[in-house]
Amino acid sequence: MKPSAFVFDAYGTLFDVTAAARRAAADDPSGQLQQIWPRLADDWRRKQLEYTWLRTIMRQHADFAEVTAAALDWAMEAQGLGADHALRQKLLALYDELDAFPEVAGVLTRLRETGVPLAILSNGTPGMLKSAIDHAGLGDLLTAALSVEEVGIYKPAAKVYAMVEARLQVPPSKVLFVSSNGWDVAGAAHFGFQTAWVNRGNAPLDRLPHVPRHILKDLTPLADLMK
């Protein structure tokens, strides 16, 4: 079945979550970040996701900007950078302007030419998503950017995925949901979406119910699904 809508996760799928730490390291005259930025970026991302899941379980919601800052605080302290307030502010500012992966604009352009709606469904706040979309120049290609803040709970809660049908008026079975996160793909497939897992790092398949229908190295093959 050809999809009637494409819905994308944002962070790690369209936007490179390591870009903030990498760009900060490239700009660091001391060279201190050159060796540790990959670990800093990995810790930041891991804690960011952990906090969304734990806050959901505890029913203690905070928006993704707050969660992202808290995760950064942990990651910086783990690397002995906890007292560097200027670096903290720089990293948070860079996170609002993450680089899109190289193929993203071209793939979205080709998909848009088919006439299907294209949307983002993300944990990010509306403000964070707008900043990332504007920085990448993707605004004209997207039909909607849906934030979990509309429902006050994080993925993989079903309430999040239900936002898609309400906004796009497309039934779940005709939505292709695309994410680089295996747990997100599992949640979306459980909800009833067709799914594609973007496995950029050649990771093992997550041991979760509802395996992805498609496994991709990047977004490039998506346009072929409309032929």
Distance, in Å, from the CA atom of 144 to the CA atom of 179, rounded to the nearest integer, reads 16
Q: In this structure, are 75 and 91 located in the same domain?
A: yes
- C-alpha pair distances (Å), 150 with each of 53, 124, 202: 17, 11, 33
What's the CATH number where 59 sits? 1.10.150.240
Q: In this structure, are 129 and 31 located in the same domain?
A: no
Q: In this structure, are 111 and 152 located in the same domain?
A: yes
Q: Which domain holds residue 78?
A: 19-95
**35, 62, 95: which is the final residue of a domain?**
95
What's residue 101's pLDDT?
Answer: 98
What would the two tokens of residue 184 be?
């997100």
Q: In this structure, are 75 and 61 located in the same domain?
A: yes
Q: How many CB atoms lie within 10 A of CB 69?
A: 15
**95, 120, 139: which is the final residue of a domain?**
95
What's residue 226's pLDDT?
Answer: 78
Q: How many CB atoms lie within 10 A of CB 197?
A: 25
Q: In this structure, are 104 and 43 located in the same domain?
A: no
Q: In this structure, are 59 and 153 located in the same domain?
A: no
Tell whether the torsion through CA atoms of 167, 115, 139 and 198 is positive or negative.
Answer: positive
Task: Tell me the β-bridge partners of 147.
Answer: 122
Catalytic residue IDs: 9
Per-residue pLDDT of the chain (227 residues; tens, 9 = 90+): 789 999 999 999 999 999 999 999 999 888 889 999 999 999 999 999 999 999 999 999 999 999 999 999 999 999 999 899 999 999 999 999 999 999 999 999 999 999 999 999 999 999 999 999 999 999 999 999 999 999 999 999 999 999 999 999 999 999 999 999 999 999 999 999 999 999 999 999 999 999 999 999 999 999 888 76
**95, 128, 162: which is the final residue of a domain?**
95
Q: How many CB atoms lie within 10 A of CB 34?
A: 11
Query: Which residue in the block uniquely carries the two structure tokens 């991302």?
Result: 45
Task: Tell me the β-bridge partners of 119.
Answer: 7, 144
Q: In this structure, are 112 and 191 located in the same domain?
A: yes
The per-residue pLDDT for range 169-184, each reduced to its tens digit, is: 999 999 999 999 999 9
Distance, in Å, from the CA atom of 78 to the CA atom of 5, rounded to the nearest integer, reads 41
How many domains are contained in the chain? 2
What's residue 5's pLDDT?
Answer: 97
The per-residue pLDDT for range 195-208, each reduced to its tens digit, is: 999 999 999 999 99
